[in-house]
Structure formats: structure tokens, C-alpha cells
A and B are shown apart, each in its own frame.
Chain A
Amino acid sequence: MNSQNIKKTLKRYKKSVPPFLGRLGTGIWNSLEIPLSAILERRAILKGQRIVWPVEEVADFERARFLGPTSREALVQVDFTLLSPGTERAQLQGIVGNDFPFYPGYSGSGNIISVGKKITKFRKGYRVAGRIPHQSPATVQEQYAFRIPDNVSMEQAAFIELGIIVLQGIHKAQIQPGETALILGQGLIGQLANRLSRLAGAAPIIAAARSKAKEKYSVNAWGADKFLTMEELNEAGQHDGYDVVIETTGNANILSIASCFARKGGRVIGLGTPRGRGRIFLGQDGARPGVRIIGAHISGIPQYEQSPGLWTYRSEGLFFLDLLARQKLMLDDLISQKANPECANSVYESLLNEDPGIIGVLFDWRSTAPGRAKFHSKG
């Protein structure tokens, strides 16, 4: 029996005991979970810091103990983690069904400080990027980590997961040179979609969002050609439509809007995580025949077998870092803020308030651990 099984069993029995016993059980489990799991799973205990959301709409920074890496994981001293504004706002508001307390974050970079016995690709001291939560140190599985090329900064590499999310959508869109593209939503995913569509050869690229707040990030030589608010987009009225419409906001109903903007036979790519339930009215005025709606959520990415338009997670990650190494993709201007994780409370408050200044926020973990995390080796 491992700690996960114990956790499941406790959860099951919690419902059948009086609430105070349930609370007592939870309290005891919370204090025992790490040491018990460490014994059962023969893992080390690490001390570090992390961002936690104790309840909906509240973020905090805490010092905590974590389980050390398994034999298939590497231990990373984290330098930067990227706040993914759209996804994390939805999670923080509890509208995507996550439980609390919740430990957010899924994209970051750092240095490997130890590797498990079965790790073959990495060694201590490697700079890596991958699926890393907002915490330091962090363990990362070999298949979710990528070695960072020498000329790519840690800050740029921290965008890795978002890069993969967008790249796999761009691949599924199978953009041909000269095709017109409309990117709906100009959050971080939308910004990356502008830039990667440009690399794929789309032209012109129209960026659209609710307000003009992010226009300065969107329209440039390496991004979109034109920026329209949703109002302006609607006022522009009927025309031939766009070859590719990429929806990045996660609005469940936006697919029906997007279908109005796709040309006959065009593609609508659903990149955002759908929030709530939506209805699609393909027969409404303006929708054109032959429009293909392509689900491109990251959860559908293949792990092993690759085919045209359906690259694997690893291929996308390596390609993203390669684009950065060859300086084909610009990211520095998207970093709006480097925040101390200890200020997580106010950073997430700004996020909830939809502060237009928040675009790409990197949590800088280097300043939180001057002595670096203590690593208790299993010996």
C-alpha cells in the first residue's frame, strides 16, 4: 500500500464518519502524509517553498516539506516558474472543478541538483525546463523535462509548457503559407499563437480581444498584423472570413462565435481549456458551411506516436526550445513582471482583478532560497 491508496481510503471513509472525526482525520493525515509517504515509498523529505491556494480566490506563499524524487525523477532547484494567467485564474476561481487547497503552476525552469537512478538523459547541473509547479525545489519526471540549449535564457525556457500547448494547436491547424488567421483572445496563449502562426506562414494575422489593453504586445513584426476589439470585429461585419480561427480564451460558447469568422471550409482551433458548458449553433446566421472545429486541448497530445499534424509532447517541447535557440521566437517582451513568490498573495489578487498589466508573470525563486533547499539524501 502506498500513500495514494491511503489517501483514497481516508477520503472514502471521511464521508461515513461524523464531521469532527473527519476533520480530525484530515488534520492527522496532513501532518503524517509526508513522513508516512516517505517511509512507504522510500523517498527523501525536502524542505522548500511553494505557492498554495488554501481556498477559492486566495493565494499564499508557504514553506513546506515535499517528497524527494523517485528513481524516475530529477530534483530541480527552480529558478523561474511562469504564471499562466487564463488557466490559473480559472483554477483560482474554482470554475474548472479543482479542489482546494490547490498547488498551482505547470511550467518552469531550473537546475538539476540530483537525478534518480533510472534517469538516463539528465545529469546534475543540467539546465532544464518542463512541467514544474510554483515551488522550489521540484521533482520532474524525465519525459516532462527538456534540457535548455545554452543560448536560451532560464526566463524564456520557463514558457515551455505554454509553448507546447500552442505549438500542438498550430500543428493541428496545419496552416499553409499565406492563409489568414484570426486569434481570439490575447492572453499569453493568444500572444504565443500570434507569433507561432506567423512562423507557420499565416498572413495577415488579426489579433482580437475584449479590450485594447494588450495591443502593444500583440502587434509587432514577429506577432499579429492588426488588432481589433471584439466590438470592432463584429462591426467589421460579413466578409469572406478567415482560413484559420484560433480560440484561446476557454470561453465555452466562443466556438460558435469563432465559426462565424471562419471562411467556408476554414478551421476553428479550440486551444483554451473550456470553462463551463457551451452550446454551438452551427446553423446560425453567418456560419459558413464546411467549417471544421478542431479540439486542440493539450490533454489530447500523443506521448509516443507522431503523425503529420499530431506531434508528440517531446517533439513539441524540443521544437519550442529550438525556435528559441535559433532566435526565431521572441518572448522577452512578453515578460511583464518578475515577481517574488512571497508576493503571490498580491500577484494573484491582481490576476483576479484582471489587471491588464499582467501578461507574462515569472515567479523568481532564486531570491526565496538564498541557502538553496536542503536536500536530505536517502544515503
Chain B
Amino acid sequence: MDSNAVPSFRITKKWRKWKISYEDDLIEGRIVPKKRLRIAAVGGGDIGILNADSVRTARAAELAAVCDVDSEVARDLAKRYDVPVVTDYNELLARPDVDAVLLSIPHHLHTQMAVQAALAKKHVLLEKPLATSPQEASKIIEACRAAGVRLTVNFSFRYRPAIALARQLIKDDTLGKISGTQINLFQLKGTKFWTGGFSGRASGDWRRSKEKAGGGVLIITICHALDYLRYCTGLEVTRAYSEYGTYASPVEVEDAIAVSYRYDNDAIGSIASSTFWHADKRDEVIIWGTHGSLRIEENNVLRLWSSRSWKSLAPGKEHLLSDFPKVNYASKWIDRFARAVENGVPHDITGKDGWINNAVIEAAYRSRDDGRAFPVESFPWQESP
């Protein structure tokens, strides 16, 4: 499996609208492997349900069991899925019919439960972020390496066709030399979110705690954009400076943040975010270079302006690219992990990606305490399991 596999895009104009179709190595998805990876979904919150559903739609994997320590949530899971429901994590790890665990659990439990899974020789799929800090992330990576199991983090936004196209456009030099990026995320995360997620089906106040969540909006939400920006541009953040605070939410973590950073190619970047934004949600990532700019907007919308032509897109105009095929990107993430395990190779998204994401976030958080830009640590190993 080539982790740098590039989809081939086709772009056609239909009624003044660009229709984008692409073909990538998903072709392998049409072949069902002889042995499917048996994955147990751990955690029955909103994301846990989504992930369990995605396991079921991944062709190379199957849902072997579901687990939640909360008996009420476990009962609900039993109604949803026709698989064994377990309330004891150790019991789950002892099951021989489970090859891997998909952990959709509070951040502070990632290290402990991932290490336990590795010790039990189960492959680990972790909901983002990898851990609450790079130090914690290192423990997970070391445990997986020692146990010889594979590890991945759910940065599955990379598989959104719009993100894949953004990466392709940058690779094809439509923007020239990348000189800056900007992440803007303004949305309303009410009190309900901080205490129970989006629907409140699995209540808990871990998101409010700095110690348990590792931080606020930056580590909970913006980590996705940080990862796919790194994926699209290939640039690494070398230092970061942030200012943040808690202004309108009953939480200990930040509910608004501004970050500035510098990349290894000298490009500059920034983040601005608020979680108490009552107007229409604004979620956009802007990338600009010497020859063009690209805006990645919510709902798979790209706006490209380039002084260079790309396929049928004429230079010198802003092109709205919005007609993308629908892809279950979480399912693709799981499917590709199952195939990576079968082929004995690392997944596209490894512990290294999760670790680097944690390192950038930690540099941003620590910079405020220091009152100056904080360097981002380098990944201490060559590769990651």
C-alpha cells in the first residue's frame, strides 16, 4: 500500500459547475480480503457510534464487538449492533475474536487504554488526538512498537475528496511556493457540548478539564485542520505562539484562541477560533502561495485562484469546486488500516502524524505561558508503527 498514493482527478464542466470525479487506490476496496480485520469499537458516544458504523461499512474490516463501561450506553449499543456488547475493557482485550480496538474515548484515557491494547497484542485505532501531549503520545508509540502492533489516528479528513484534490493542486504547483496558511473556525459549542458532546448521549465533563482533555478548541477540533494542512502542503510547523483564554463557556480549557506559527520553508501560518460564535458557522482553511490561493471551505467546497492553468481550469479566475463525490472517509480510514495490517505495512496515518500534531499543539499552549514563540519538538524516531 503506497501511503503517497495520489488519486487521479477528472474535472468536467456541467452547467457552469465543475464536476470532480476521481479514482484512487480505493480500487482495492472493491476486492474483499480473505480475512477481515475484526475490530472492537470502544466508546459509545457520538463519535463512537459513527466509528462503529464506519467499521461496518469498511469492506476489509468487520465489527467484532462493542464496548462501553457505562451500562446504559452499553444497552443502547446492544440495540444498535448485532455483536457482543462488553462493559469490561479487560474482558474485551482477552477475547480471541478481536484483532484490533477502535478507541473513541475521552482524551485522558487514550494512553492507558491504547497501551493496554498493545500489551494484549491488539492493533490500535485511536480517535484524534493521539494523546493529550507528545509525552503521552510517545508512550503509546513505544508500547505499540514493543508489542509489534499497528497504530493509527483518526485524521480521516485526509480522505475527503476536497482535501485530496487540495493536496493534488498543491503538488502540481498551482499555488507556487506556499507562503502562508490560515485556519478560521468560528462556531457555537454550547454548554451541552462541553458536558456531553453534540447529542449528550454519553455525558461526562472531561472536555471541560485541561488535564483530561489536554486543552480546548485547539486540541479538540482544530487538530483536524492542522493535520490536513500538513498533509496537503507537506510543511512542518517549527515554532508557534498563541494567545488564548476562556471567555464565555463554563470550562477550564480555552474557548477562543489565536495562534501564529512558522513553517520549515519559512511560510507563515495562523489560527483564529472561537466556540461562542452565534452567527453562521465559519469554517475555512486558506492556503496561499506565490502563484495562487486556495480556500477549503466547509461542506467540501474549494475556491482556487491560480496564475497557472490546471487541467481544464483556466488561470487568472477564481474557480468554485464543489461537486465532489460522496465518500465515507472514516470508513476509508478503517478499511485502509485493515488492509495495511493484512499486508504488514504501516497505515497512511501513523503514530508519527499523531505525535507531530500533539507537538504543534503543545508548543502553542506552552508559548502563552512563556510569553514567546515556542519551538516545536522533532519526532524522536525515524518511523512509527
A residues with a Cβ closer than 8 A to B are 53-55, 57-60, 62, 345-346, 349
Contacts and interface: CB of A to CB of B under 8 A. Distances in A.
Contact of B308 (A54, A55, A62, A349): A349
B84 interface: no
Interface of B: 291, 307-309, 314-317
Contacts of B308: 345-346, 349
Contacts, number: 25
A53 B314 CA distance: 11
Nearest to A101: B316
A55 B306 CA distance: 11
A358 to B, nearest CB: 17
B60 to A, nearest CB: 42
Main secondary structure, interface of B, reads loop
Nearest to B176: A349
A62 B307 contact: no
A62 B317 CA distance: 14
25 contacts: A53-B316, A54-B314, A54-B315, A54-B316, A54-B317, A55-B316, A55-B317, A57-B307, A58-B307, A58-B315, A58-B316, A59-B315, A60-B309, A60-B314, A60-B315, A60-B316, A62-B314, A345-B307, A345-B308, A345-B309, A345-B315, A346-B308, A349-B291, A349-B307, A349-B308
Contacts of A62: 314
Nearest to B307: A58
A58 B314 CA distance: 10
Contacts of B315: 54, 58-60, 345
A60 B309 CA distance: 8
Contacts of B317: 54-55
Nearest to A57: B307
B71 to A, nearest CB: 60
B100 to A, nearest CB: 48
A120 B307 CA distance: 44
Contacts of B316: 53-55, 58, 60
A17 B272 CA distance: 38
A55 B316 CA distance: 6
Nearest to A348: B307
Chain B CB within 10 Å — which of A58, A346, A349 has the most?
A: A58
Contacts of B309: 60, 345
Nearest to B314: A60
Nearest to B309: A345
A55 B291 CA distance: 13
Contacts of A55: 316-317
